[in-house]
Amino acid sequence: MLSVDIEKRLGAFSIAVTFETAAGATALFGPSGSGKTSIVSMIGGLLAPDRGRIALGDDVLFDSSARINVPAHRRRIGTVFQEGRLFPHMTVAQNLDYGRWMSRVSVDPAERARIIDMLNIGALLKRRPGHLSGGERQRVAFGRALLMKPRLLLLDEPVASLDRARKLEILPYLARLRDEARVPMIYVSHQAGEIQRLCSQVVRIDDGHVLATGGLELLDVDGRPAGSPQRVIS
Amino acid sequence: MFELSAEEWTAVELSLRIAVVATFAALPFGLAIAWVLARKDFWGKALLDGIVHLPLVLPPVVTGYLLLITFGRKGLVGGFLADTFGIVFSFRWTGAALACGVMGFPLLVRAIRLSFEAIDRRLEDAASTLGANRLWVFFTVTLPLALPGVIAGMVLCFAKALGEFGATITFVSNIPGETQTLSAAIYTFTQIPGGDVAALRLVVVAVVLALVALIASEWFARRAGLRYHGE
């Protein structure tokens, strides 16, 4: 599905990761500051790697040797950020439709209604983001990303800014999203609990490198210092 | 005593026209330069910033004289524009608008630049992941979010244009009905015997115009600001 092989230097910090994902939901799991968000930015096209290659299926999004760098707005990769990033000057409905206007994808009204219904945001359509709760905001952000008919969904700690109750409110929607929308997902988090509920594959990241790729068993941190050599696979 | 004479009305009308034209003509340039200064790093940025701010620190007469030698009939740019497009600035109201636009430009650029710099760039990133190219990001996210600053800049530019005197009179002189603005008319009336009352009437007009512009801008900025908070 998605194959990533990239290097990037950010000041003193360096990222060098190689991994592939299958269909379904894949977690990028690792502590804060391990470079997860930068990796996601490079997949989404907001940050250019120094070297390497990113491909979604047969479609090459970035290839430094072939000098390919598809700009973010042509990648059709839906992204949900930690802070939602809804446009404050637009209503919820305008936020939801922004992606499909800009990407010029036609979304059939029944599909739009189904997504709005699935996320339970029908009552919010006329409001502005300033008047939404954190959980509502994130649900609208999911809807906005879904309505552009993305080829891949990047979820960058989408519930990290929410309290426990709001998290529990959101996670079932995410599970439905995974099962019903059938869009491959990359789920970034440092919370093993969230990942357990949503993902089947795990890419463990630490200090800008892939420690291991595999299934949910990688979520056990078992007290070993991150980055210990016997765990390094790639 | 409170009735404005035809000549005074002409000066008021001309001032308003010049200030409006100067502000709207300066706006696209102001937006472009403010964006470049807020978002780009390039060689000579400090120089560009300096040139933009020059009219703020130079004596207005100097700015007017520089305009005269560049945009006058025999000036490098003025001669070209007159010969190629038939656009003449010298001793025309359009020249007064140019002078006023140039004088108001630094105020316009400053306000817009600050509001561009205050925008959360992560929102622009979000827009591009949703498929918006740079131009669409600018018109659907950057500009609407910067609107209060843009309006504030336009009001400052308008106010500056309305009160401009030194550069205008140096560049296009003081011709009643063509280049004699409110300020120039007030100046003229104070120079002739018995002109005090007429000057005072125009002073009242100037104060009223300035107040209306300030209140209107406050109202617009407040409305634009409220939209973000969802009222």
Mean pLDDT per 10-residue section of chain B, whose length is 231 residues: 81 93 96 95 93 94 94 86 86 93 95 93 95 94 92 90 92 90 91 90 90 84 67 40
- Kindly state whether A103 is in contact with chain B, defined as any CB-CB distance less than 8 angstroms: yes
Question: Do A77 and B129 form a contact (C-beta atoms < 8 A)?
Answer: yes
| Share of chain B residues as helix, strand and coil, in percent rounded to the nearest 5 | 80, 0, 20
CB contact under 8 A, B128 and A71: yes
CA distance to partner chain A, nearest, from residue B229 (Å): 5
**Running DSSP on this structure, what letter comes out for residue B192?**
S
CA distance to partner chain B, nearest, from residue A230 (Å): 38
CB contact under 8 A, A73 and B132: yes
Nearest C-alpha in A relative to B121: A85
- The upper half-sphere exposure of residue B223, i.e. CA atoms within 13 Å in the direction of its Cβ, equals 7
Domains of chain B plus CATH, in order, are 6-228 (1.10.3720.10)
Q: What is d(CA A174, CA A162) in angstroms, rounded to the nearest whole number?
A: 14
Q: What is the reported pLDDT for A224?
A: 45
CB contact set of A118 (below 8 Å; sequence gap of 6+): A173, A176, A177, A180
The partner residue sitting opposite B129, judged by closest CB among A72, A104, A128, is A72
Q: Which of B119, B130, B133 should one mutate to test binding to chain A, selecting the residue with the greatest count of A CBs within 10 A?
A: B130
CB contact under 8 A, A75 and B129: yes
CA distance to partner chain B, nearest, from residue A1 (Å): 19
Q: What is the reported pLDDT for B195?
A: 87
Predicted confidence (pLDDT) at residue A222 exceeds the cutoff of 70: no
Question: Do B108 and B95 form a contact (C-beta atoms < 8 A)?
Answer: no
Q: What is the reported pLDDT for B51?
A: 94
Q: Is position A120 within any domain?
A: no
Q: What is the reported pLDDT for A229?
A: 42
ipTM of the complex: 0.87
Nearest C-alpha in B relative to A147: B130
Q: What is d(CA B76, CA B69) in angstroms, rounded to the nearest whole number?
A: 8
Q: Is position A66 within any domain?
A: yes
Q: Is position A13 within any domain?
A: yes
Q: Give strand ranges (E) for A64-200.
A: 68-69, 77-80, 152-156, 185-189
Q: Is position A139 within any domain?
A: no
Q: Which domain holds residue A223?
A: 2-87+150-231
Q: What is the reported pLDDT for B124?
A: 95
Question: Do A21 and A194 form a contact (C-beta atoms < 8 A)?
Answer: no
Neighbours of A179 (CB within 10 A): 10
Helix (H, G, I), strand (E, B) or coil at A77: strand
Strand order across the beta sheet in which A209-214 lies: A68-69, A59-63, A51-56, A2-10, A13-21, A209-214, A201-206, A25-29, A185-189, A152-156, A77-80
First to last CA, chain B: 47
- DSSP assignment string, B138-166: IIIIIHHHHHHHHHHHHHHHHHHHHH--H
Question: Tens digit of pLDDT for each residue in A16-64?
Answer: 999 999 888 999 999 888 999 999 999 999 999 999 999 998 999 999 9
Q: Tell me the pLDDT band of A193, cut-offs 50, 70 and 90.
A: confident
Q: Tell me the pLDDT band of A230, cut-offs 50, 70 and 90.
A: very low
Token duo for residue A125: 């359509």
Q: Is position A113 within any domain?
A: no
Q: What is d(CA A28, CA A16) in angstroms, rounded to the nearest whole number?
A: 14
Q: Is position A49 within any domain?
A: yes
> CATH number of the domain that A68 lies in?
3.40.50.300
CB contact under 8 A, A129 and B230: yes
Q: Is position A176 within any domain?
A: yes
CA distance to partner chain A, nearest, from residue B129 (Å): 5
- Kindly state whether B135 is in contact with chain A, defined as any CB-CB distance less than 8 angstroms: no
Q: Is position A95 within any domain?
A: no
Mean pLDDT of A2-7: 94
How many structural domains is chain A composed of? 1
- Kindly state whether A111 is in contact with chain B, defined as any CB-CB distance less than 8 angstroms: no
